[in-house]
Chains A and B, each alone.
Chain A
Amino acid sequence: MFSLIVGFFLVATLVLSAALLYKKSKKRLSVPDGVVCLYQVGRGPWAPSLSPFPLKMETFLRMHKIPYMNDHSGVMSSKGKTPWLEYNGQQVADSQLGMDFLVRELGLELDLHLSPEEAAVARAFRELAEENLYWTMCYESFVKNPHSLDILLKDVFPPLKIFAFKNIIGFFVKRQLWGQGMGRHSDNEIWTIGRNDLTAISNYLGEKEFIMGNNPSQVDCSLFGMLSMVVWQMRGSRHEQFVHDHLPNLVKYCERVRDRFWPDWEKRCKGPEFVDDNHKIYSH
């Protein structure tokens, strides 16, 4: 009897916590034709997203002046992740697949200023950021210093949701880290990997305005998404300290991309000037 009661409460807590975080939409959102709907997790306190990938996608939409609106409810994609998009009734999960889809649908001429060799290098740097550096950042935030999430989410989520986020998402992130491989390394090894990745991006960027030269390319959306977290939103992390102390060109790079594509930055961060833009249509 006793074990039944305990079991019931445990299961109930887990289910409630998961429900707080993982939502499937009950009714379909009405999205106007010709407007992309970007489903994401919500604005951050010091950057327009809590996560690098929605920021990557939204920067891309702005870069190419694609009409779009945001849905900040945190609804997950068919692949169980976020962000994802909907366009003229079609849903596409995954940030890169979503961007590739829009390029085809809208006939976008992407990165015309890049030679095939440069496009190859751009791809390599995108994967460096998204498939390697990203995992070191997950480790730093969810495993090494989960208290940083309390600081990050203080004015963004209610306390119960912060608790659920840290523990439930943290549980899945740790499992992902192990499966992906990064989680098998020691703390020092993971930090060295992260530091080497940040240094490589900085060394390749050098004095250039954007990673591939004087004009922005698609890869800048990825790098900006990832590096914005490091520069502004990973307070107290080794990544943040290292970039500010040793890689000032990366900080300036983020500021440059921010100033170019996010003139409304302060309104899109959950600070004193925040203005909710849920379902607001951006047309250019």
Chain B
Amino acid sequence: MQFVEQVTETVTTWVSNHPYVTTGVVAMTAAHILHRVAIRGKDNLGIIEAPPNTVVLYQLPRAPYTPSLTPFAVKLETYLRLANIPYQNDMNMKKSSKGKYPWISYNGEAVADSQLAMEFLNAKLRVDLNRGLTEAQRAQAHAFRVMVDEHMYWCVVYFRWIYEKYAHCLSLVIPRYIVYIMKRKLNKQLYAQGMGRHSTEEITQMLVQDLQALSAQLGDKKFLMGDNPTEVDCSAFGMLSVLVFSSHDDITGTMVKDQFPSLYQYTMRMKEAAWPDWDECNTKGATVKATK
């Protein structure tokens, strides 16, 4: 009892000696709790009403030089186009239940993550961009997809957010102070994943080796697995488009065009196949509003 009295006395004295700090802390805590209560529940994802059997693709607004700043949104939207799945965009910066972009909703059901969304739609709509591939070829394509999405991606993140000091493309659309906050967050992600522990030279080497592997896999073919685009081409195009069109640093800026001409041509080929309206789907260096 005496102990409780002592503690109460200490706290009361401290609070009366520091009224502003105390008010600040209490106000922030209350605001935080209210905010968490307010955003609970799936309705707060912001799923919108759409015509039946139309996918809603939630992503960032159109980017300066590509349809999206994130390769995964380009990947997912390329897939929807190649598979002829009716869709509409919601570019109001609504994060998924997993805190990221892009995500989809279909007839009211939300699916976060580009790959999980594709698998969901494949099952629901009986879509199969990989038809015609043997079991071993599907396995091979799967391995390349993971190489691009789970390894190459982190090299690109490093160059985009950390190495490129002022993050040119991002600064065109995102205020500098938010870029700064995001840099810190992404540094932590890079460290957690492992890529962030390596030097710039080591990361450059890894990116070059991944591009060499993609180039070798492509060979003389039109697309990675043959004459027709398959699912892995969506991933590869997403990543390559961001490297080709949105890199402005001295290492990756012209890397694909200079060192991997076949991959550069492949990127153009995919752009023509899935994005004939490419010029309407970016803001031309943040100089115009994208019309689509």
| Chain A contacts to B: CB under 8 angstroms | 2, 79-81, 93-94, 97, 116-117, 119-121, 123-125, 127-128, 131-132, 175-181, 184-185, 189, 196-197, 199-201, 203-204, 206
- Contacting residues, chain A, for B219 (C-beta < 8 A): 117
Residue-wise, chain B 11-27 has the 8 Å CB interface mask toward A (1 for contact) of 00000000000000000
Q: Which residues 111-145 of B sit at the A interface, judged by CB distance below 8 A?
A: 112-113, 116, 135-136, 138-140, 142-144
Q: Evaluate contact between B136 and A124: CB separation under 8 angstroms.
A: no
Report the separation of the CA atoms of residues A155 and B238 in the bound assembly, to the nearest whole angstrom: 48
Q: Can you name 28 A-B residue pairings with CB atoms under 8 Å? A: A2-B3, A93-B197, A94-B198, A97-B198, A116-B216, A120-B214, A120-B216, A121-B143, A121-B144, A124-B140, A124-B146, A124-B213, A127-B150, A127-B151, A131-B147, A131-B151, A132-B150, A175-B192, A179-B191, A179-B193, A180-B193, A180-B194, A199-B139, A200-B142, A200-B143, A203-B138, A203-B139, A204-B143
Contacts of B140 on A, CB cut-off 8 Å? 121, 124, 204
- Chain A contact residues: helix, strand, loop or mixed: helix
CB of A123 within 8 A of CB of B147, answer yes
The residue on A at minimum CB distance from B216 is A120
Beyond A97-B202, A117-B216, A132-B150, 20 extra complex contacts between A and B, CB < 8 Å: A2-B7, A94-B198, A116-B216, A120-B212, A120-B216, A120-B217, A123-B147, A124-B140, A124-B213, A127-B150, A127-B151, A128-B147, A131-B150, A179-B188, A184-B99, A185-B116, A200-B139, A200-B143, A203-B139, A204-B139
**Does B98 count as interface, using CB distance less than 8 angstroms?**
yes
Give B contacts to A, CB under 8 Å.
3, 7, 98-100, 112-113, 116, 135-136, 138-140, 142-144, 146-147, 150-151, 188-194, 197-198, 202, 209-210, 212-217, 219
Chain A residues within an 8 Å CB radius of B194: 81, 180
With both chains docked as a complex, state the minimum distance between the C-beta of B137 and any C-beta of chain A, in angstroms: 9
**Cβ–Cβ < 8 Å partners of A121 in chain B:** 140, 143-144, 217
Complex CA–CA separation, A180 to B98 (angstroms): 12
Q: Shortest 9 CB-CB distances between A and B: which pairs? A: A179-B192, A124-B143, A120-B216, A120-B213, A184-B98, A204-B139, A200-B139, A79-B197, A203-B139
Contact among A178, A185, A196 for B113, CB-based, below 8 A = A185
For A125, what are the chain B residues with a Cβ–Cβ distance below 8 Å? 143
Partner of B192, one of A93, A116, A178: A178
Given contact pairs A120-B217, A184-B100, A201 touches B193 in the complex (Cβ within 8 A)? no
CB neighbours of B98 from chain A (8 A):
184-185
Least CB separation from A199: chain B residue: B139
Task: State A180–B191 Cα separation when bound (angstroms).
Answer: 9
How far, in whole Å, are A177 and B212 apart by their CA atoms in the complex? 28
Which chain A residues lie closer than 8 Å to B198 at the CB level? 79, 94, 97
Q: Could you tell me the distance between the alpha carbons of A180 and B189 in the complex, rounded to whole angstroms?
A: 6
Q: Which residues of B contact A197 (CB under 8 A)?
A: 142, 146
Query: Interface residues of B: mostly helix, strand, loop or mixed?
Result: helix
Taking CB atoms, residues of chain B closer than 8 Å to A204 are: 136, 139-140, 143
Q: How far is the CA of A30 from the CA of B197 in the complex (A)?
A: 27
Say yes or no: A123-B197 contact (C-beta < 8 A), given A128-B142, A180-B189, A206-B136. Answer: no
* Bound complex: CA A123 to CA B198 (Å): 19
Q: How far is the CA of A19 from the CA of B134 in the complex (A)?
A: 51
B172: min CB distance to chain A, Å: 26
A181 proximity list for chain B (CB < 8 A): 100, 193
Q: Which residue of B lies closest to A93 (CB)?
A: B197
Option from A119, A128, A176 in Cβ contact (under 8 Å) with B146: A128
Q: Which residues of A contact B146 (CB under 8 A)?
A: 124, 127-128, 131-132, 197
B112: chain A residues within 8 A (beta carbon): 184
**Whole-angstrom distance between the alpha carbons of A131 and B98 in the complex?**
20
Hey, which chain A residues are within 8 Å of B217, CB to CB?
Answer: 117, 120-121, 124
Contact of A127 with B216 in the complex, beta carbons under 8 Å: no
Chain B nearest CB from A152 CB (Å) reads: 23
Whether the pair A201, B139 counts as a contact (CB closer than 8 A) is yes
CB-CB under 8 A from A199, the residues of chain B are 139
Q: Which of A125, A131, A132 has the most CB of B within 10 A?
A: A131
Complex Cα–Cα for A252 and B99 (A): 41
A58–B43 alpha-carbon span in the complex (Å): 52
Asked if A127 and B143 make an inter-chain contact with CB atoms under 8 angstroms apart, the answer reads yes
